[in-house]
């Protein structure tokens, strides 16, 4: 120890550097399903539990982004200085998940609550044995500071020579992939009860309305700039010009032809499907009539 | 929670011998997302999974689900699948998820789900659970900005017929049963816990246009329609095959009847002659004669299912073509401005 003391320095080893030296910055990409899962587990937690933890599944993309696509809860017990994680459960569940989707591997773990606490380091150690450099995701289900904060951390070791002194949790950027949720429609996911699913035409109507308001907004903006009420912003101007330029410029004659052609195609299809339907009902009547004889 | 739920269920089933009809399927956002994820990741392979939830009066609540691994025909793997299912249920119960099977979900291509397999699976489930439901998700439609989620069950009259196992014209006519009566679609409600709702409100992006809107305004629906037409044509071919089967059957039937008539005629004249000579008349029926053997009537189930599919494709084509009209007029209006 005495000999080593000259060289002893507090070393900060960023694990991401050791794992993949070329991509030091990690990003966590979270799919909405994970958040739903965490919330559901929290709602269904045992009475005694303060928080729930679970395993995050996903994959690590070539650019270093950690794609978190799925999760499952793991029962655990926490007292002041001890954490007991049901390891058997964790392994069983992992095996089951791998059967369905072998591409989704462990990438880390989640816990509810506002941030990292003492027990977290222990659990993180456990996950670090399962996978190199796990991600720790915290979802603040208590809305402690008025908003539902979602944070992701990686841990890095502070070591003194060969001895580990402490683990430091480093926050990494979170990228919420809400595209899938948008596809479904936030209206469906936001409220606690939706009476019926939107059908095709209602969705179309909604979309058109949104488009119309957008166009109106742009219209108003341009008008107010022309009248000198708003100071012109070159960036916005360019965006608008781009949007207008994205409409293909066709002579009216050509465009009319095009539109009419596709209209006729669609009409043909409509006609065909209606005629098939008529045939079906006719056939049924005839079939039953034939049996009468 | 789970045990409580079960005792609650038992209480229901004891109290009410006749359960109220299933009116609504209430599905949690979590289950919807899980179904979509599973179906989409494996598309175009068709996948299935199990739905978990509670049966409360006329509402069937689907609160969670889990996917099945892609199945192989291997026997060993099948046994493995059963183990997997039990294991998964056990694990989920441990974290207080409702572990009561209420049905299953499956993905489909262009809504061509009306198959004999689906009916068989449904009957299997029905044996164990009085009330179950099949949720169908169509990933191919998601690109058009449509959430193609459907909850189906077999109608009671169909199940009765299916158990009887004969789909002869006579039976069907007796029950006044048509191809439209096989499946019943149940309206879906979506519910979310207050916590999820809070998070989603928090996380909703500010942009006025969502991905769904982009998808919906996409103007190239041609591949979708083309595929639909292709399937439609295939189904029509199948249908005409089925029709030919019936024609063949009817032709055989009428030929047989003619033969029987001729034979009867002969026998009668013979009997007349015998009577005249004072002999005992011969019986008017001869079971050993092959012409009296009844020809089995082909089952109408297949043609019913195909008819269902055809009507489904027609509906889809109608819907998409209708939307295309709006898109076209929209583009036209944009151009004119």
Inter-chain CB proximity B330 and A208 less than 8 Å: yes
Q: Are A218 and B298 in contact (CB under 8 A)?
A: no
Query: Each residue of A120-138: pLDDT tens digit?
Result: 888 888 888 888 888 888 8
Cβ of A211 within 8 Å of Cβ of B209? The answer is yes
How many A/B residue pairs have CB atoms within 8 Å? 232
Question: Domain A4-181: what homologous superfamily?
Answer: Cytidine Deaminase, domain 2 (3.40.140.10)
In this complex, is the C-beta atom of A165 within 8 Å of any C-beta atom belonging to chain B?
A: no
Please enumerate in sequence order all residues whose Cβ is within 8 A of that of A166, keeping only pairs 6 or more positions apart, or say none. Answer: A157, A158
Query: Environment class of residue A251 by beta-carbon count within 10 Å: exposed (0-12), middle (13-18) or buried (19+)?
Result: exposed
pLDDT score, position B57: 77
Distant-in-sequence contacts of A263-266, Cβ < 8 A, 24+ apart:
A263/B325, A263/B328, A266/B321, A266/B324, A266/B325, A266/B328
The pLDDT of residue A12: 52
Which percentage of chain A shows pLDDT scores above 90? 0
Higher pLDDT, A161 or A228: A228
Nearest CB to B216: which of A32, A192, A203?
A203
pLDDT digits (tens, 9 = 90+) for A174-223: 877 776 666 666 666 776 666 666 666 777 777 788 888 888 888 888 88
Identify all chain B residues contacting A148, using CB atoms and an 8 Å cutoff.
198-199, 202-203
Instruction: Express each pLDDT in A69-107 by its tens digit.
Output: 888 888 888 776 777 888 888 888 888 888 888 888 888
> What is the per-residue pLDDT for A22?
38
CA separation for the pair B302, B181 (Å, rounded): 14
Give the confidence band of B151 by pLDDT, cuts at 50, 70, 90: confident
Please check whether residue A215 is in contact with residue B161, taking contact to mean a CB–CB distance below 8 angstroms.
Answer: no
Q: Does A263 touch chain B (CB under 8 A)?
A: yes
CATH number of B2-154+187-216: 3.40.140.10
Which residue is associated with the tokens 């005249």?
A: B276
What whole-number distance in Å separates Cα of residue A141 and Cα of residue B194? Answer: 11
Any idea where the domains of chain B sit in the sequence? 2-154+187-216, 232-336
Token couple for A256: 């009319």
Whether the link from the prior residue into A114 is cis, omega within 30° of 0, is no
Residues of chain B contacting A204 with CB distance shorter than 8 Å? 216, 323, 326
- Give A38 to chain B, closest Cα distance, Å: 9
The pLDDT of residue A163 is 66
Distance from CA of A7 to the nearest CA of B (A): 49
Whether the complex's predicted ipTM surpasses the cut of 0.85: no
DSSP assigned state of A281: H
Sheet holding A193-194, edge to edge: A193-194, B188-191, B24-28, B59-67, B48-56, B101-107, B133-137, B149-154, B183-186
Percentage with pLDDT > 70 across chain A:
77
Enclosing H/E stretch for A112: strand A105-112
Structure confidence at residue A242 (pLDDT): 85
Per-residue burial over B2-19, b if 16 or more Cβ lie within 10 Å, else e, is beebeeeeeeeeeeeeee
Can you tell me whether residue A253 is helix, strand or coil? helix
**pLDDT tier for residue B264 given thresholds of 50, 70 and 90:** confident
- Give the whole-angstrom CA distance, residue A136 versus residue A55: 9
The pLDDT of residue A21 is 39
Alpha carbon distance A82, B190 (integer Å): 40
pLDDT average, residue stretch B14-34: 73
Are B110 and B316 spatial neighbours (Cβ–Cβ below 8 Å)? yes
Check residue B17 and give its pLDDT: 46
State the pLDDT at residue A148.
72
């Amino acid at each position: 120890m005495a000999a080593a003391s000259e060289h002893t320095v507090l070393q900060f080893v960023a694990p991401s550097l050791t794992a993949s030296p070329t991509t030091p910055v990690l990003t966590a990409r979270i799919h909405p399903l994970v958040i739903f899962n965490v919330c559901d587990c929290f709602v269904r937690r045992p009475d005694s539990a303060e928080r729930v933890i679970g395993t995050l599944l996903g994959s690590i993309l070539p650019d270093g982004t950690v794609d978190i696509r799925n999760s499952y809860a793991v029962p655990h017990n926490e007292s002041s200085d001890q954490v007991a994680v049901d390891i058997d459960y964790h392994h069983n569940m992992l095996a089951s998940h791998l059967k369905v989707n072998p591409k989704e591997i462990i990438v880390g773990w989640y816990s509810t609550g506002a941030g990292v606490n003492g027990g977290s380091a222990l659990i993180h150690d456990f996950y670090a044995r399962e996978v190199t450099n796990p991600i720790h995701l915290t979802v603040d289900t208590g809305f402690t500071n008025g908003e539902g904060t979602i944070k992701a951390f990686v841990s890095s070791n502070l070591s003194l020579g060969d001895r580990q002194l402490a683990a430091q949790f480093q926050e990494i950027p979170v990228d919420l992939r809400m595209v899938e949720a948008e596809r479904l429609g936030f209206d469906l996911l936001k409220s606690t009860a939706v009476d019926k699913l939107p059908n095709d035409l209602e969705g179309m109507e909604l979309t058109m309305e949104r488009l119309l308001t957008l166009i109106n907004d742009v219209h108003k903006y341009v008008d107010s700039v022309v009248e000198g009420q708003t100071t012109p912003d070159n960036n916005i101007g360019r965006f608008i010009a781009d949007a207008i330029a994205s409409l293909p410029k066709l002579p009216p004659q050509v465009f009319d032809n095009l539109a009419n052609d596709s209209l006729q195609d669609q009409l043909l299809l409509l006609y065909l499907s209606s005629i098939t339907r008529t045939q079906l009902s006719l056939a049924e009547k005839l079939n039953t009539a034939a049996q009468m004889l | 929670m789970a045990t409580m739920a079960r005792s609650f269920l038992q209480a229901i089933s004891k109290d009410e011998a006749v359960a109220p009809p299933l009116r609504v399927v209430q599905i949690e956002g979590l289950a919807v997302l899980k179904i979509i994820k599973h179906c989409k990741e494996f598309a175009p392979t068709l996948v299935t999974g199990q739905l978990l939830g509670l049966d409360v009066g006329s509402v069937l609540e689907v609160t969670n689900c889990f996917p099945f691994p892609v199945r192989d025909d291997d026997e060993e793997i099948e046994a493995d699948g059963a183990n997997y299912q039990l294991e998964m249920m056990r694990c989920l119960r441990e974290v207080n998820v409702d572990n009561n099977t209420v049905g299953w979900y499956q993905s489909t291509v262009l809504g061509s789900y009306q198959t004999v397999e689906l009916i068989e699976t449904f009957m299997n489930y029905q044996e164990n659970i009085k009330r179950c439901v099949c949720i169908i998700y169509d990933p191919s439609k998601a690109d058009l900005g449509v959430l193609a989620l459907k909850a189906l069950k077999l109608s009671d009259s169909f199940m009765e017929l299916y158990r009887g196992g004969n789909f002869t014209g006579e039976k069907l006519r007796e029950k006044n049963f048509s191809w439209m009566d096989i499946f019943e679609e149940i309206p879906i409600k979506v519910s979310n816990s207050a916590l999820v709702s809070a998070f989603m409100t928090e996380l909703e992006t500010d942009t006025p246009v969502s991905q769904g809107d982009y998808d919906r305004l996409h103007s190239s629906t041609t591949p979708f329609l083309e595929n639909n037409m292709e399937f439609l044509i295939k189904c029509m071919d199948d249908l005409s095959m089925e029709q030919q089967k019936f024609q063949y059957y009817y032709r055989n039937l009428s030929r047989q009847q003619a033969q029987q008539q001729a034979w009867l005629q002969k026998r009668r004249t013979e009997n007349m002659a015998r009577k005249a000579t004072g002999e005992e008349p011969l019986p008017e029926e001869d079971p050993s004669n092959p012409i009296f053997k009844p020809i089995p009537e082909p089952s109408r189930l297949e043609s019913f299912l195909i008819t269902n599919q055809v009507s489904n494709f027609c509906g889809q084509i109608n819907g998409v073509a209708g939307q295309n009209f709006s898109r076209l007029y929209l583009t036209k209006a944009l151009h004119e401005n």
